[in-house]
């Protein structure tokens, strides 16, 4: 039997617990059928944690996350907590975990699965075969830069400000993640910024270029302004392999890339820290990109695929279990090819199902594939 793998599961708010439930069944299946032994802990995060202990990211959760080999995260937030002060937002749950665990590289694949080509709002010809990996910096830039705040001026008017700041080492380390990925993919990185208007963007472009020249001459680098990238993503998405961006541009462009695929309900992500040279390990957190979707929470209709695919990324990235990751991905694709759809990806002629039926169908496909 394989060595224990310590997982921290943080279901969070909204549809998080519902879709996580389906992943727990996949984990049980893997325990049974593949003899992967997981040691699972659960923790509090987001609005639920605010209600229970008064903080969106309790110290205990951070400690558990640091002790785990990997964190599987659901989603946080909802209308119930929308009016809390800025310092108490449920979103701080994920932001603090990223920061405290040093999770600087967020990998967001936007893959158009063949059975879902028609689910995109773009023409099938434009999106068929799209396979993009957005690499987003997640512990720096305008999300954390100081000074920030809203101040009241002597005339009584308010002034709000944030700071977009990057040290060259922060740029270089996330650029290396993008170049390494491109090497295993189609060998191209598109680095986005606004070097035409932002000083930090100017440095971003310079440093990414230096890293490429010195360490990755075999990878093609293209620099693109972030606004142009948004336009190109909608018109010619197939030109992209890896897109590299800072925290803010990466946030926006990864949603856009995700939308090309037809459903946020299908997309996973991984956020990785640096490899510890002593142990060879790295902190890592895996989460679907759809968020807590409060409008459909509690109805049993959420799509569990993104959370399951996040678990597949966890198997691949944290444990090197490529075969098991691919097995789960194939099972999901087969279920879709068989015509089952949750509401978010429903198309004419397909069979509409809820969260648990979708989950069961994936388990059945896993049984068949493993037989
Ligand atoms: C994301 C989300 C978060 C972000 C929010 C929930 C803080 O939009 O993961 O993309 O902006 O990073
Ligand atoms: Mg976002």
Query: Are residues 295 and 354 part of one domain?
Result: yes
Are 89 and 153 found together in one domain?
no
* pLDDT one-digit tens code per residue, 192-204: 999 999 999 999 9
Instruction: Specify the pLDDT at position 244.
Output: 99
- Do both 155 and 220 map to the same domain? yes
Positions in the chain short of pLDDT 50: 1-2
| For residue 41, cis peptide bond before it (omega within 30 degrees of 0) | no
Examine residue 289 and state whether it is found in any structural domain, yes or no.
yes
Residue-level pLDDT at 3 = 55
Closest CA to 129 of 178, 188, 186: 186
Q: Does any domain span residue 246?
A: yes
Domain range for residue 250? Answer: 112-263
Same domain, 117 and 245: yes
> Which ligand sits nearest to residue 73's alpha carbon?
1
Q: What distance, in Å, lies between the first and last C-alpha atoms of the chain?
A: 19
- Give the CATH number, domain containing residue 31: 3.40.718.10
- Please check whether residues 253 and 127 belong to one and the same domain: yes
Residues 331 and 358 in one domain: yes
Q: How far is ligand 2, taken at its centre, from the CA of residue 44, in Å?
A: 21
| 72 plus 117 within the same structural domain | no
Answer yes or no: is 288 a known binding residue. no
Same domain, 134 and 63: no
Which residue puts its alpha carbon closest to atom 3 of ligand 1? 91
End-of-domain residue from the set 212, 233, 263: 263
Q: Pick from 263, 283, 304: which residue ends a domain? A: 263
> Which one of 263, 298, 332 terminates a domain?
263
Please say if 169 is a catalytic residue. Answer: no
State the Cα–Cα distance between residues 301 and 356, nearest whole angstrom.
8
Q: Are residues 304 and 236 in the same domain?
A: no
How far away, in angstroms, is 160 Cα from ligand 2 center? 21
218 occurs within a structural domain: yes
The answer to whether residue 364 sits within a structural domain is yes
Please tell me the total count of domains within the chain. Answer: 2
**pLDDT tens digits for 243-282?**
999 999 999 999 999 999 887 789 999 999 999 999 889 9
Residue 268 lies in a domain: no
The response to whether residue 144 sits with its C-beta less than 6 Å from ligand 1 reads: no
State how beta strands 242-245 and 70-75 pair.
Answer: unpaired
Same domain, residue pair 255 and 295: no
Do 89 and 119 reside in the same domain of the chain? no
């Amino acid at each position: 039997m394989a060595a224990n793998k310590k997982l921290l599961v943080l279901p969070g708010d909204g549809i998080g617990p519902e879709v996580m439930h389906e992943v727990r069944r996949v984990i049980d299946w893997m325990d049974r059928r593949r003899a992967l032994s997981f040691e699972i802990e659960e923790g509090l995060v987001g609005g639920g944690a605010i209600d229970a202990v008064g903080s969106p990211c309790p110290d205990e959760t951070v400690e558990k996350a640091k002790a785990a080999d990997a964190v599987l995260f659901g989603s946080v937030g909802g209308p119930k907590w929308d009016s809390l002060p800025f310092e108490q937002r449920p979103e701080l749950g994920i932001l603090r975990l990223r920061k405290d665990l040093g999770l600087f590289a967020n990998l967001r694949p936007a893959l158009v699965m063949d059975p879902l080509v028609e689910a995109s709002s773009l023409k099938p010809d434009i999106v068929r075969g799209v396979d993009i990996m957005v690499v987003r910096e997640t512990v720096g830039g305008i999300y954390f830069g100081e000074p920030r705040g809203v101040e009241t001026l002597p005339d009584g008017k308010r002034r709000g400000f944030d700071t977009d700041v990057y040290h060259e080492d922060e740029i270089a380390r996330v650029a290396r993640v993008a170049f390494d990925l491109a090497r295993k993919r189609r060998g191209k990185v598109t680095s986005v910024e606004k070097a035409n208007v932002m000083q930090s963007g100017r440095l971003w472009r310079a440093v990414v270029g230096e890293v490429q020249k010195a360490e990755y001459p075999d990878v093609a680098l293209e620099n693109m302004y972030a606004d142009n990238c948004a336009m190109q993503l909608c018109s010619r998405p197939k030109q992209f392999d890896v897109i590299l961006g800072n925290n803010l541009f990466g946030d926006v462009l990864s949603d856009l890339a995700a939308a090309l695929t037809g459903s946020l309900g299908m997309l996973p992500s991984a956020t990785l820290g640096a490899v510890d040279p002593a142990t060879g390990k790295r902190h890592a957190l895996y989460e679907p990109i759809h968020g807590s979707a409060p409008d459909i929470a509690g109805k049993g209709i959420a799509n569990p695929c993104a959370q399951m695919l996040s678990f597949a990324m966890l198997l691949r990235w944290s444990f090197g279990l490529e075969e098991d990751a691919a097995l789960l991905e194939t099972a999901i694709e087969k279920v879709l090819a068989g015509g089952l759809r949750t509401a978010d990806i429903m198309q004419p002629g397909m069979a509409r199902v809820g969260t648990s039926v979708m989950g069961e169908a994936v388990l059945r496909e896993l049984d068949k594939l493993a037989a």
